[in-house]
Chain A
Amino acid sequence: MRYADLPDHFAALDAWRADHDLAPGEIIALECATTVPGAITLLHLLARGFSVVLLPPAVPGAPGAPPRLCRRRLTVRGHIVNTAGHAAGPANLAPDRPASFLAITELAEPGPPPPPALATGHVFLRTSGSVAAPKLAVHSHAGLLGNAVLSLERTRLAAGDQIAIPVPLSHMFGLGAALVPGVAVSASLRFIEAANLLRFREHERAARPSVAFVTPALLATLVRPDHAGPPRDHYRHIVVAGDKLAPALFEAAERRFRRVLNLYGTTEMGVIAVADADDAAGPRATTVGTPLPGVALRLDAPEAPDASGAPDASEPGAGAIVCRHPHGFTGYLDDRGAAWPGPPPLVDGWYRTRDLGRLHGDRLEVVGREDHSVNRDGRLVVLAEVERAIEALPGVARAVTVLGGDGRRGRRVLAFCAPRDGHALDATHLRGACADVLPAYAVPDHVVIAAALPVLPSGKVDRRRLAADASAIEMSAPPPREGTV
């Protein structure tokens, strides 16, 4: 469809909403496929002033119930994936007929009415947690737009671009770095639903994109270092958000896609920094460039990652990234729409991202997470939650997780497990049991059975010692099927 057709699509959506008594003032939960109808619906709701809670298409095993802040959920059906994460049946989805792609459902147990000030003009993004209750980051429409326009300083999207969007529109990366900036400059946008390496390549051959927004996990499957094939000369650059790329992956990606721009952002602050396309490959390989204009960064002393009091030895010299952003979020709500009960996330406008970084001159290198968690497959995995889940399995007395080397889904996770008295544990069996209680991206790559876990004189588990053991285990026996949980 063309931008010129947008008013007609919006009018059709107005009519559909009138039939369903859906008007601004009701905060709607939008479960949005990465498709043209998904994008049109989202843009329509924003243009009409709705407050929207954005939800990804449901993934089996991941938390996904809509927040109780909403009375109803609007689902944009996909061509490939329906809301249960299964294949959609044969469907005749037409972007100009909202009834063909929209479904609205009443939600059980809605919470109290939302605060009037938030009932219109806001977007709520769920922060990813692996198992814990999610919270909602609150953005105003103006903030979201300001954030998106600011990111154009580096992504340099333009009207002539063909932009490939294989990432969810419900996350800040897809929404705030790709969709909204792309629309702001009237670029051609193409959405890749249920993206995998096969669908991405099909899209690439058909659309010859000039820019693509990809996650490190997808990128790792698009680039085959042993036979990368010829460079695709239709690309100007790709934008990658997430963990730092391994040097070999960065180099292979630069050959194939011309340039790789690493982007750093969070659900709360939107896009914070993006590498400059004019920078040399060296700084672009290791850093996310300088902060965007008007964004301020500082590095604070990192917290000790666990109760042992020992700072994380794996990232010497790194500090906790604290950020002030002219278009960042305004605060958190809990899932019911009530004020977040935790400590205020913004202190004098500064937000602690819980990421660890180093500065190279003005350029930021993001090295990992502060709070004993890790980004795997684009999702935050809090290792303490993984430990609790394993400890709830039969026969497990104690589980302690440590991070290993880089796998395709992110840093590998090793779980050291001590059996309860009188129980015998089998590593393979226990790892299978983990897959029953944890989403796939949170299942440890290695389960190691240890009769006793090493302890410090204080009686606390010696995580440094386990981290050393983990390195030795990975050196002597790399996972037989790397990272594919």
Chain B
Amino acid sequence: MARRRTHARSHFTRRGWPLSAIVEFDSVGLRYGTGAEVLRDLDFRLAKGGFYFLTGPSGAGKTSLLQLLYLARRPTRGRIQLFGQELTDAPRDVLPNYRRRIGVVFQDFRLIRHLSAFDNVALPLRITGRSEAELEGPVREMLAWVGLADRSSARPPTLSGGEQQRVAIARAVISQPELLVADEPTGNVDAEMAARLLHLFTALNRLGTTIVVATHDISLIARTPGAQLMRLEKGSMADPTGSLRNPPSEGRSQ
């Protein structure tokens, strides 16, 4: 690992990249099995504290890219660095510590069906060893924030799609992650709730969380001044201005 880190640091310096990047992709490719590459030559950095929207047509590889970001997959080539650490070939037993620093809103919510909304939201805190007394307040507060205070004991199958999505978002942000990755987070909520969720993301971003949201919702992008756009097409990142390869080093981009 030490040798890998040294290599990564020197690589970084050679490229002249600032140390504040939270995510760095270097010639990353991904293929499933022996099929064609679904992601090709991805070269970009996400600045710490940045707000990014990932767009692109269906099948462009957005979900695959997000899976690489939240460490659910390893790239088949290239190098990925997260939180300043080279994680491309990192041993699997070190990955949980990095995953705890990432909040994920899955497109299909991935709530645990037999757990209540409260237990689903509390899960990341329980995994990190928080006591029931410590987590009770924050979880109730988070459920109230997403408008589900009175549904805390309901199980996912009894919740509407929008409610499930809000539980998934609450679970992703409860531990105040350094990086929040959301796959179509407003796909099942009404405009008012979408605005509230966007407000939550913006508030988290102001607190220093880097946000990456995959979405088709143009209005969401329009309502987020300062956010940067990442466009994927056929597995390749469109970066006409070069700002993804060389973003500003501090705070929110732009």
Partners in one complex: no
Chain A interface residues toward B at CB < 8 A: none
